[in-house]
Amino acid sequence: MKESREASSNFLATIINTDLESGKHDVVVTRFPPEPNGYLHIGHAKSISVNFGLAEQFGGRCNLRFDDTNPEKENQVYIDAIQDDVRWLGYQWNDEVLYASSYFHQLYEWAKWLINQGMAYVCDLSADEAREYRGTLTEPGRNSPYRERTTEENLALLEGMKAGKFDEGSRVLRARIDMASPNINMRDPILYRIRKLHHHQTGNEWCIYPTYDFAHGQEDAIEGITHSICTLEFEDHRPLYEWFLDNLPVPSRPRQYEFARLNVNYTITSKRRLKQLVESGTVSGWDDPRMPTISGMRRRGYTPGSIRTFCDMVGTNRSDGIVDVAMLEHCIRDDLNENAPRAMCVLNPLRLIITNIAEGHVEQVSAPIHPNREEMGQRSLPFSGELLIDRDDFREEANKKFKRLVLGKRVRLRNAYVIEADEVERDDNGEIAAVKCRLIENSLGQDPADGVKPKGVIHWVSAAQASRVEIRLYDRLFNHPAPDRTDEDMMVHINPDSLVTIDEAWLEGGLENVMPETVFQFEREGYFVADRYEYNAERRVFNRVIGLRDSWGEGK
């Protein structure tokens, strides 16, 4: 696996390198061409990292071009969100943002050019008829009865289509290539459709819109793209991409290269399906922290660096595969383990009373902000006779495997003293309301003098100084490794426990004002980010980014 990954991660770089060395190109120009019909997801992050990454690596340029040829599903909201996402990932496109729609006039001129060459015609077959004429993978198609129209007639009809004289679906402009081609894409593909729709960029100027195939390569040529990198499903379109470039007076000659789409298990990478999750209210929006969108991952607490690392790690190759989501989780965990400041937060509180500390006494203990990075400094933790610990860290009785607090036994309070549990207090329902303990003298940073060592280490906060926070425990959105590849509806595979909220958790004193999007490791609990939108002075919401335990590579 490792070998193929290394070899393949270089295949586009190798091509570019050769083209630069041979003098075929002086500079590499790539583009990232999203259709603004949804938010970008982790698959797009891969494409961004390939296109911007190669331009960066070879000192070239990468354009951000909105592929806005299908106004029906497109929206300015998506245009804005996509730009935010690309910038947040740390990439800067060349010059202004570009739009396929700004080439509509040129494309129209080129459509007329093809008609004049006898290479395009207006076809009046209905969609059903056209399907019938197209043939199948094993049978050739048949020529449309409209294929022999004269140049004048075709030009007039195209003009009429543009002027809005005909109904949607009544006519299309087609290339005149070869209805018997083994490649179905070459069987007189459609160049223009009538769509009487308002366009977010061009308004009501057009009621015919070019197809992806007729637009993409020509846009690349106009922009001087040298390497037009797309995913494998466009491989069969490449002959058509080249046919247009061969037959039109384009200003430059781009080449298309394909690589395999990124698929991640337990994850959906289709805008259409992600949209379904949003529209059905299954998630709170495109940027719900459980969404594999770039904005969702950002809100979840992923860093741009972790996403870029992941995109590098999965490699760039030409064979389809499915990447384990644990690899993505590994990348963010690794980043945060290295960089996130530490803090203590008690999610399920139990009172702990230290009987040999005077009431009202508060002292400060010092703890590293990061255990392995001295340069990050120290934090000062208020310590007192009334603490909160996690309910799961205490048992009245337990066997030796339980390395936390047990009645009659000792435990170390992380960054502070050793304590010994003496008795429990119960409420009216018989539930444990508090644990009474004794502090072992002189045990700060050293073992107790009597030689009785603590069993383990637990986290805590000082009750009076801790501040209340709200916690959202996020987990994978789907509990099936291939939620969109089963016979059932993907909705049946939604993990019902993908969000568990805790209204009252208690964060160590001193962290009352953090900036939204700050990530901490809550020691022994996991990594948590102050929500980008909902963390504020009144309501302090933290999202769990990821737990501490890394499962990547297990079971292999």
Q: Which residues are catalytic?
A: 35, 261, 271
Residue 230 lies near ligand ATP (rule: CB under 6 A): yes
Residue placing its CB nearer to ligand ATP in the complex, 42 or 114? 42
Structure tokens at 546: 């990821």
Among 33-41, 169-177, 199-207, 438-446, the segment contacting ligand ATP (CB under 6 A): 33-41
Q: How far is the CB of 372 from ligand ATP (least distance, A)?
A: 35
Residue 309 lies near ligand ATP (rule: CB under 6 A): no
- Which stretches of 39-178 are assigned E, i.e. beta strand? 61-66, 98-99, 120-123, 172-175
Residue 291 lies near ligand ATP (rule: CB under 6 A): no
Q: x/- site string to ligand ATP, residues 251 to 270, per CB under 6 A?
A: ----------xx------xx
Inter-residue contact 346 to 466 (CB < 8 Å): yes
Residue 34 lies near ligand ATP (rule: CB under 6 A): yes
Residue placing its CB nearer to ligand ATP in the complex, 69 or 543? 69
Residue 178 lies near ligand ATP (rule: CB under 6 A): no
Q: x/- site string to ligand ATP, residues 62 to 91, per CB under 6 A?
A: -----x------------------------
CA dihedral 440→446→451→452, nearest 10 degrees, is: 50
Angle, helix 104-116 to helix 151-162, in steps of 10 degrees: 160
Q: How far is the CB of 269 from ligand ATP (least distance, A)?
A: 4
Residue 33 lies near ligand ATP (rule: CB under 6 A): yes
Residue placing its CB nearer to ligand ATP in the complex, 196 or 272? 272
β-bridge pairing 432-439 and 349-354:
parallel
Q: Give the list of residues 6+ apart from residue 329 with CB closer than 8 angstroms, or none.
A: 546, 550, 551, 552
Residue 43 lies near ligand ATP (rule: CB under 6 A): yes
CA 164 from chain center: how many Å? 40
- Give the torsion sign (CA, 6, 10, 14, 17): negative
Total binding residues toward ligand ATP, as defined by CB under 6 A: 16
Residue 35 lies near ligand ATP (rule: CB under 6 A): yes
Residue 301 lies near ligand ATP (rule: CB under 6 A): no
Q: Burial-class residue 415 by CB neighbours within 10 Å (0-12, 13-18, 19+).
A: buried
Residue 216 lies near ligand ATP (rule: CB under 6 A): no
* CA–CA distance, 337 with 354 (Å, rounded to integer): 32
Phi, psi values for residue 365, rounded to 5°: -115, 155
Q: Residue of minimal CB distance from ligand ATP?
A: 43
| Options 12, 25, 29, 46; binder of ligand ATP; rule CB under 6 A | 46
Q: How far is the CB of 233 from ligand ATP (least distance, A)?
A: 8
Nearest 5°: the CA angle 348, 350, 352 is 145
Look up residue 269 and give its amino acid. T
Structure tokens at 120: 């395009």
| Options 25, 30, 47, 410; binder of ligand ATP; rule CB under 6 A | 47
Residue 271 lies near ligand ATP (rule: CB under 6 A): yes
* CA–CA distance, 89 with 309 (Å, rounded to integer): 11
Residue placing its CB nearer to ligand ATP in the complex, 43 or 526? 43
Q: How far is the CB of 232 from ligand ATP (least distance, A)?
A: 9
Look up residue 505 and give its amino acid. A
Residue placing its CB nearer to ligand ATP in the complex, 268 or 473? 268
> Considering only residues 100-129, where is the footprint of ligand ATP by CB under 6 A?
none
β-bridge partners, 395: 406
Residue 231 lies near ligand ATP (rule: CB under 6 A): yes
Residue placing its CB nearer to ligand ATP in the complex, 292 or 526? 292
| Options 25, 28, 44, 542; binder of ligand ATP; rule CB under 6 A | 44
Residue placing its CB nearer to ligand ATP in the complex, 38 or 289? 38
DSSP annotation of 81 reads: H
Residue placing its CB nearer to ligand ATP in the complex, 272 or 373? 272
What is the three-class DSSP state of 171? Answer: coil
What is the three-class DSSP state of 432? Answer: strand
Phi-psi region of 336 (alpha: psi -120 to 50; beta: other; left: phi over 0): alpha
Scanning the structure block, which residue is given the tokens 């006898």? 118
Q: How far is the CB of 427 from ligand ATP (least distance, A)?
A: 53
Inter-residue contact 267 to 296 (CB < 8 Å): no
Which residues contact ligand ATP (rule: CB under 6 A)? Answer: 33-35, 43-44, 46-47, 67, 230-231, 261-262, 269-272
